[in-house]
Amino acid sequence: MPDCDAMIENMPMLLTESLDPVQRELTHQHIETCPKCAREWAAYKETWQTLDTLPELEVPARVKQRFLAEIDPDLRTNVVPFRSGRAARWLAQAAAVVIVAGGAFYAGNRLAPRFRPTPTGVELIGAQTLPPATPYYSIAETRVLPAASINPQIEGRPDIQNVQFTDASASSDQIGVSFDITSHVTVTGRPTDKSMVSLLRYVLENEDRESPSRSRAIDWVRATYSRLDKPDPQIAEALANVLRNDQHQGVRINAADTLQSMQSAMTDSTRDALVEALKNDPNPAVRLKAVEALAKLARSGAVLDPEMVDTLQKKASQGDENVYVRVKAAEALRSIQPR
């Protein structure tokens, strides 16, 4: 297609949400109709997600100093630390909420339907049945809607937040109103559906840290996925990220406990999270759950890498470690066949 190159060029800016609204909409529309660009876009998103999972490294002071010394002194005053963390996460979350909620609102008003139930069985309750030809509902977009396509009867008092206005310009008499809109959406599907797994992973990793439902969400994941013979590794990886990053000790205990019941879904990264928790978590219950999970893994005959064995050995011998953690580490070591 003639537009493809231009659209592909737009993709990095689309990812960072720095494309202007018109171009953004055009690019989205193109992606939805062009299989080649859809593949390209999926690859971009996957790469972006992978980048997001990489650890943030502190720039060594020496390197930072040399870098600042090299740049223009005028610019130096403009150099400020780039802060990721909460604000960025909230933006991402807000974006996700917008597409989910906005989509439901949009569909509910029969406006330019842009999503449909996935063929894997996930469906949106509360959204109207959509024409089968419409593309998948994507969960990381913002969109621009012409006012004419909006039903003038706004029903259900949708929760509108973060409202911004764009004035008319000399060249155009168009004005704009931007907002985040939230409504309650239920996604149903089988626990093994890819879309459901991705959604749950997103929820586990991104849900508001202060949300009371966080521990409950992990309990629910355990109840649902520990029953499966082979739960999706994505769920285990999401729990591993919770175990690594959550400040809430009760949540970390829950995450480690749930991982214990999902042995068959464990990846190297998941195991590393358990080892890290066993080594460094200040809460003895988290270390206890981690060592229990590793002991169970060892009993199942899984091959533990040398770092895991070394960590277990150190824990078993560590005089100031909780005695139960030491005993469980010894139990794990007893089951290991070195290779």
Partner 1 sequence: MIRTSIATVVLLSATQLFGATFPVLTASNRVVRELQIDPSGSVWIDNAFGSVDVIGGDGKLVSVTIDRTITAPDAASMKEAADNVVLSFEGDTKVRLIHTILPETHAGHWNAVVNYVVRIPRGVNVKIASKVAEHIRVSHVKGSVTVNGFAGTVIMDGVVGASAISLVNGRIIYDYLQRPVANARVQAVNADIDIYPPPNSNFDWIATTINGDILTTFPVRAPRFSGTLFRGQIGSGGPTINTETLMGRVLVQAKGTKSSSARSMRVYNSRHQPGPGDVLLQPPEKIQVPFVVGDFVSAASVADITIGEVRGNAHVEVGAGEVELEAVLGQCMVTLMGGPLRLGDIMGALFAHTGAGDILVRVARMGGQVTTDGGLLLVKAALGPMTLRSGGGDIVVQQTSAAIDAQTSSGDVTLTGDPSKKTLKVTARTLQGNIILNVSPRFKADIDATILTSNPDANEMHIDFNGISVSREKVGKKTRIHATGKINGGGERVELYAVDGDINISAKTITPIKVMSPKR
Give the footprint of partner 1 on this chain (CB under 8 A): 208, 210-212, 215, 247-250, 253-254, 282-288, 309, 313, 316-317, 322-327, 330, 333-334, 336-338
Instruction: Compute the least distance from the CB of residue 301 to partner 1, in Å.
Output: 15
Instruction: Compute the least distance from the CB of residue 239 to partner 1, in Å.
Output: 16
Instruction: Please tell me the number of Cα atoms within 13 Å of 251 on its side-chain side.
Output: 24
Cα 244 from Cα 276, distance rounded (Å): 8
The dihedral sign for the CA sequence 150, 155, 159, 164: positive
Burial class from Cβ neighbours inside 10 Å (0-12, 13-18, 19+) for residue 45 reads middle
- What is the distance of C-alpha 102 from the center of its chain? 19
8 A C-beta contact, residue 15 and residue 48: yes
Distances (CA, A) of 266 to 44, 50, 115, 236: 26, 18, 33, 6
Q: Tokens 């309750």 label which residue?
A: 125
Looking at the Cβ atoms of 24 and 252, the one nearer to partner 1 is 252
Instruction: Compute the least distance from the CB of residue 171 to partner 1, in Å.
Output: 38
Looking at the Cβ atoms of 226 and 322, the one nearer to partner 1 is 322
Burial class from Cβ neighbours inside 10 Å (0-12, 13-18, 19+) for residue 268 reads exposed
Instruction: Compute the least distance from the CB of residue 152 to partner 1, in Å.
Output: 33
Cα 88 from Cα 17, distance rounded (Å): 12
Instruction: Compute the least distance from the CB of residue 284 to partner 1, in Å.
Output: 3
Instruction: Compute the least distance from the CB of residue 33 to partner 1, in Å.
Output: 40
Looking at the Cβ atoms of 60 and 282, the one nearer to partner 1 is 282
Instruction: Compute the least distance from the CB of residue 328 to partner 1, in Å.
Output: 8
Looking at the Cβ atoms of 240 and 251, the one nearer to partner 1 is 251
Which structure tokens are listed for 59?
């720039």
Identity of the amino acid at 77: T
Looking at the Cβ atoms of 19 and 325, the one nearer to partner 1 is 325
Looking at the Cβ atoms of 65 and 249, the one nearer to partner 1 is 249
Looking at the Cβ atoms of 237 and 246, the one nearer to partner 1 is 246
- Nearest in space to 197 (alpha carbons), one of 138, 122, 93, 270: 122
